[in-house]
Structure 1
């Protein structure tokens, strides 16, 4: 069973990767490896893999040219929390009415999306917005692990 860090706080794993669809298998594989290491059951591993894929696919389509996805996994004893961020020229968050969003909410225990605008003290008014998707998958109750 996953124990977290020595002080009991969640472990954080971060990946920064070019925001291109051809990199999705790398991100999916990392999500599955993290879930396996945390002793999640096979169905939860598959759900997390698909949800991470959908979240990243959604943000890749909103990214600026040459954007980098920032993927962060926080792993605790009973949950894996995933946050993916991409710079975008749009201040529009992903639609909660889309099929992809319905997939995310079905496969995970928590979903959220938001956009951070360029900082007010930024000298460059054309600075990109940061679009975020956060999701969490909890360990299934009653299973050993």
Structure 2
């Protein structure tokens, strides 16, 4: 998935992005889940879809928080584009390891979303803590978006 910048043109029928940056600590998960749920409800996702989105956001964030370096920020970005909610979560980790596709958490993500990917970005290969890991996923409206 492509990284979206705040200056990207969103076009008609696009709501553009909600981005939250918090310390990569489990105590902030409740806030991230609440925002994901509020965004999905505001955009017209049904109750089951909103639950799927909340679960996926929680799983992606939890997976990255477990790998994060002390003092790292966790970024969660939600964007509606043409009937699809795209979520991008990232943080700085020690080893840059992406979640295993065979892990239970990844299976949950794969089940409740329409697409999911994970990748890493090396900020400075000379430093041991500059491995930024990203998890991106998308969820389409089961029915047409609210008009």
Q: Would the TM-score normalized by the shorter structure come out above 0.5?
A: yes
1:36 equivalent to 2:44? Answer no
The answer (yes or no) to whether the contact 2:95–2:129 under 8 Å persists in 1 is: no
Structure 2, unmatched stretches of 5+, are 1-8
Q: May I ask how many residue pairs the two structures share in their alignment?
A: 137
User: SS where residue 57 of structure 1 aligns?
Assistant: helix
1:16 equivalent to 2:21? Answer yes
The whole-number CA distance in structure 2 between the counterparts of 1:113 and 1:10 is 24
Structure 1, unmatched stretches of 5+, are none
1:28-60 deviation per Cα after TM superposition (whole angstroms, max 9, x unaligned): 000000001101111000000001000000000
Change (3 A) 1:77 1:97: same
Computing the radius of gyration from Cα coordinates, the structure with the larger value is 1
1:83-136 deviation per Cα after TM superposition (whole angstroms, max 9, x unaligned): 00000121211111100000000000010000111246xxx6345110000011
TM-score between both structures, scaled by the size of structure 1? 0.87
Match of 2:138 in 1: 136
RMSD (Å) for aligned C-alpha atoms:
1.8
TM-score between both structures, scaled by the size of structure 2? 0.86
Match of 1:49 in 2: 54
The structure 2 residue matched to 1:102, chosen from 83, 104, 107, is 107
